Structure formats: structure tokens, C-alpha cells
Amino acid sequence: MKLRVNIGVILFFILQGNGVLAQETIKAKIVSKIVDNFVDISAIAQNSDATYKSGFTYLFLSLKKGEGKNYSRNQQSGEFSLNPNEEKKISSLKINIQAGEECRVYFFIRKNDKLISKDSTIIFSVEKGNKKKFVEENDIEIVGLVVEDVKTKLGKDFYDYFYQKYMSSGAKYPFIVHIDEKPSIGRGSKITIDVDDRIIFQFMTRPSDEYIQSAANQALRYVSNYATQRRLLYKNKKF
């Protein structure tokens, strides 16, 4: 599929998709406001229940691709609570978008490591004029993304090993790989790998470089197996 876009004055296109579990009263929402060549983006959490809600965590992530296909990332995370029927701005960022650039923004709300609600936005700009350009749909898809929320040196070492092996493998999967680390009893911590809101691998850290590298190799195999199953599932659904 090809998308026809015009080239001259900067225009912005914003594509947005929201997901929330039906039984939950907490909703994640991304709100975008365009001013000149800047886009002000806010992460909004809404509580539609008449009771106080607490113990939520969020991840607000932007991934901007420049004309040279280089990526820059801005990641914010933390905890929050909501009063009855409250709508609260949890985080915000300002992005400068030039012609030929695009940015994907993700907002995730979790409680006890369970995904409660999410929202995402794609922002890209083109120039409008007499000239026309054809852009392949796959060219605006961001693949091979790894998002980390690690807290310790062991968690950072695992992320570094996993990411290096992922990039050198040549596989760029069309989904986001989340690496999350939570403290545990004693000196260790638990690292979880989830894809498409599903936990596919987790382990307890140890102060051993060999062990961390082995865990990274094992995690990569689980991600590869998941990608194969996902591809077969989508193929069966298509036909």
C-alpha cells in the first residue's frame, strides 16, 4: 500500500489508537496540541469511578525518527493516584517536528504489573506544494524497539546485553519489547520481558556476568519464538 502525501508548508498528521480493559475505570489518553513546528503532548489519566484510586504506575514514551532514520527517545515513568471522577495530567513533553520526520508516542498505565489502559499516537509531517511523493506504508512503521525500565546495574547490564544481541541478530520485530525490573526480597531483583502486554520471560538476577548474558540469550530465544507464533497467528487470521 502507498500513501500519497504532498510536499511545501509543514502539515501534521496525527493517528491515534486507544486500548482499555472493559472492567477498568481508569483510562489513558494522549492529548496533542500543535503550535508552529512544535507539538505539545500530554499524558492524561481519567478515573470514571466515584472512588479514590491509587497504586498506579505509568510509562510515557516518545520515539522520534529523523530524516536520516536516526532515533531519539524520551522516556518518563512514575507513580500516581486519582481522586473520584478526576482527570489528571500525568506527564507532558514538547516535540519539534520537521519535514520528513515522525514521532510515535506511547502511554501505558499499569497496576501491580498488570496493564490497565494504554494509548498511542503517531505524528508525522510533510510539506505541501506542487510536487507529490509516494511513501511506502512500511516506511512509517517503527520496528525493532526495546523499551527498558530497569533500576539496578544488573538490570542495565541485562538490557545492554539483550539489546546488543537483538540488534546484531538482524531481526527487527514489528512490536515493542518491554524490559521491566522490580525489586525483590534480598539483594536480587526480578526482570520481566513482555510483548503485546504478555509476559514471555522472567527471571531473578544474580551478581554474575555469565548468568546475565545467559539470561539475555534465553530471553532473545523467547522473543524469537513469540515472533514466529505471532506471525503464524496473523497469517491464519488473514486467510
CATH top class, domain 2-129? mainly beta
Check pLDDT > 80 for residue 209: yes
CATH top class, domain 145-238? alpha beta
pLDDT of residue 120: 84
Write the single-letter amino acid at 24.
E
pLDDT of residue 68: 67
Kindly report which listed range (39-53, 125-139, 160-174) carries the lowest average pLDDT score.
125-139
Q: Where are the domains of the chain?
A: 2-129, 145-238
Mean pLDDT, residues 120-138: 53
Q: Is the pTM of this model over 0.75?
A: no
pLDDT of residue 130: 36
Phi, psi dihedral angles at 46 (to 5 degrees): -120, 135
pLDDT of residue 161: 93
Q: Which residues pair with 202 in a beta bridge?
A: 192
